[in-house]
Amino acid sequence: MNAECTDLHRGANRRKRIGNTCIAISQKNAPQALNSCPPDLLAFVCSNTLTKSEAALGLDRAQINRLRKGYWPRDARRTLAAWANYRATHATWRLRRVRPSDAHGSVVRDGTTLYSAPLLLGLANHQVLIAKVGAVLLCQTITSLAGLAERFELTPVEVHP
């Protein structure tokens, strides 16, 4: 005899009757997120007031409290998107010129490193904004052919001393 609908999540043991089923439910396209709060997000939430954290991240007060206490949501996509948006909008953006390169198409220099991306190919001799967000260098076009600004990641291609 099969189990009742409410009795699907019991652990396996000797006393189970033959035919009793235990179903493990997995979500299709379940998010592959972090298992804990990123340290910089935790430091930000703990160092600011609830009201400031709530306004900056766009999360509700209960979610901020849970983050402060060390609880990390199972589906953290919304929390991570809010944190990425906050970091990108509060980064220091710098103006750089896109230069043509024979080896890499178009490149942007930041310090001693040249960076490139496929979206830079049509922007030679134009200016773009760049910002360091964590370990990633973001690039944002000022204007494009469609009139909309695009934001994308740059990858390092060469280092010059």
In this predicted model, what pLDDT tens digit does every residue of 100-135 receive, in sequence order?
988 888 899 988 889 999 888 888 888 999 988 777
User: If we measure between CA atoms, which residue out of 125, 126, 129, 135 comes closest to residue 155?
Assistant: 135
d(CA 91, CA 131) in angstroms, rounded, equals 6
In this predicted model, what pLDDT tens digit does every residue of 24-42 receive, in sequence order?
555 555 555 567 888 889 8
List, as one string, the DSSP characters of 87-131. Answer: HHHTS--EEEE-EEETTTEEEEEETTEEEE-GGGGGGTT-EEEEE
d(CA 139, CA 116) in angstroms, rounded, equals 10
What SS3 state is found at 11? coil
In this predicted model, what pLDDT tens digit does every residue of 1-23 receive, in sequence order?
444 444 445 555 555 555 555 55
pTM value > 0.95: no
List of residues 6+ apart from 100 with CB closer than 8 A: 106, 124, 125
User: If we measure between CA atoms, which residue out of 120, 46, 32, 122 comes closest to residue 77?
Assistant: 32
DSSP 8-state symbol, 80: H
User: If we measure between CA atoms, which residue out of 38, 33, 36, 11 comes closest to residue 22?
Assistant: 11
d(CA 63, CA 81) in angstroms, rounded, equals 14
Per-residue pLDDT at 46 exceeds 80? yes
Name the phi and psi angles at 84, rounded to 5. -65, -40
